[in-house]
Amino acid sequence: MSTAVRASLPYGIQSGGPLTALAPMQDVTDLAFMRVIAHYGAPDYYFTEFLRVHGQSHPEKHILRSIDENTTGRPVFAQLIGEDIFHLTRTVDELRDHPIAGIDLNLGCPAPKVYKKNVGGGLLRDPDHVDRILGALRAATPGGLFTVKMRIGFENTDNFDRLLDLINAHHVDLLSVHGRTVREMYRCEVHYDFIARAVARVKCPVLANGNVTSAARAAEILKETGAAGVMIGRHAIRNPWLFRQCREIFSGQPVTRLTLADVREYVERLYRSTWHEGFPERAHVNKMKKYLNFVGQSVDADGAFLHAMRRTETEAQLFAVCDQHLLAEPEREFVPEPYPGVIARPNCETPAAVDGCSLESITA
């Protein structure tokens, strides 16, 4: 297939600079969160939560809102998860009526309840079927952009090079690589050498994903891997200024220093932005606590904010804790990296974890 008739990737905000993308995260990357991120400094690209594709599926309305009502000024790619080729291509046809930047295929979700259905990261066990899916989705997006997000393997990396060759064979336009296997979930160091292998082997730009904790770390990862940019997930929940800070460091500018008062304003904005009519207070507070599990990693070294925040049940209690821990010393630095040992998701980040990582279980 000639690549000349297909669309080019959208330009980044920083002309000629490395690309940045907000990773697709279940229960996170909805319209409200995209708008909040844009307020503090949008990424170059957004990716939606995955659209579940099966025999009875149609694109979820709340995910379509993040595409149709996008006012961030940045393109949104629609991510699909599934294994049935007919229904995947049918869904692509349905999405053509919406202003998507392109179609993204999920080949990396590590949640057992996902991969046991042979979708997401589960597909990495079957390169032959991946070959068929990639061919069908490439054919279903003539003239449009087709991207893939993958991990480096399922149990091991034996299929990695073959999968990269399939990326080339089907003219994928952009590849995002999370440098862990599915089985490794989030509990080990990221294998950036495998991301570098992907950069060397595939013809399309590669985004490095996994533990992009700060702007300084993003610059180090780009130097180590040669990637065209970074895809950031849970650390953008913790620090919504991160994409702006990345552009600052990429261009040699001083990186914006953040304070606890800045974070208090972010919490307020996030709370107001994610509320909707009919959302019970207790449920809303519980959802906020899941975001704040990440924010708390940079508030204090002993996890006191996290300990108190997790025990709140009402809006008043939640903001009282925020005021106590974020406004007592409002000019104290909100540190760029998470404090060592302050864990956002013990069920996902410790060896005892047995289930996948939604706001409880982030997929990026």
Of residues 162 and 354, the one with the higher pLDDT is: 162
Q: What is the share, in percent, of the chain residues with pLDDT greater than 90?
A: 91
Considering the candidates 109, 204, 322, 348, report the single residue annotated as catalytic: 109
User: Does residue 204 carry a catalytic annotation?
Assistant: no
The whole-chain average pLDDT of the chain stands at 93
DSSP sequence for 234-267: HHHHH-TTHHHHHHHHHTTPPPPP-BHHHHHHHH
- Residue 308 exposed, middle or buried by CB count within 10 Å (0-12, 13-18, 19+): middle
pLDDT tens profile 144-182 = 999 999 999 999 999 999 999 999 999 999 999 999 999
Q: Taking the CB of residue 11, how many other CB atoms lie within 10 A of it?
A: 11
Task: Say which amino acid occupies 193.
Answer: D
Question: pLDDT category, 344, cuts 50, 70, 90?
Answer: confident
Question: Using one digit for the tens of pLDDT, what is the confidence trace for 86-139?
Answer: 999 999 999 999 999 999 999 999 999 999 999 999 999 999 999 999 999 999
| Structure-model confidence comparison of residues 90 and 354, the more confident one | 90
Q: 122 with 150: CB under 8 angstroms?
A: no
pLDDT score of 346: 59
Q: What is the pLDDT of residue 224?
A: 98
Residue 284, judged by CB atoms within 10 A of its CB (0-12, 13-18, 19+), counts as middle
The confidence band for 321, taking pLDDT boundaries of 50, 70 and 90, is very high
Task: Look at residue 354 in the predicted model and tell me its pLDDT.
Answer: 36
DSSP structure string for 312-340: --SHHHHHHHHHHHHSSSTTSB--SSPPT
pLDDT tens profile 183-221: 999 889 999 999 999 999 999 999 999 999 999 999 999
The residue type at 142? P
Residue 109 has φ and ψ, to the nearest 5°, of -55, 125
- Between 3 and 283, residue with greater pLDDT: 283
- The β-bridge partners of 231 are 21, 209
Q: Scan for tokens 């990429």, then name that residue.
A: 250
Region of 118 please: left (phi>0), alpha (psi -120 to 50) or beta.
Answer: left
Is residue 4 packed enough to be buried (19+ CB in 10 Å), middle (13-18) or exposed (0-12)?
exposed
Under 8 Å between Cβ of 298 and 278: no
The secondary structure of residue 290, as a DSSP letter, is H
Mean pLDDT of 3-32: 90
Which phi and psi angles does 39 have, rounded to 5°? -60, -35
Residue 352 has pLDDT above 50, yes or no: no
Q: Check whether 2 has a pLDDT greater than 50.
A: no
pLDDT at position 3, please? 42
pLDDT band at 350 (very low <50, low <70, confident <90, very high): very low
Whether residue 45 contacts residue 145, with contact meaning beta carbons closer than 8 Å, is answered with: no
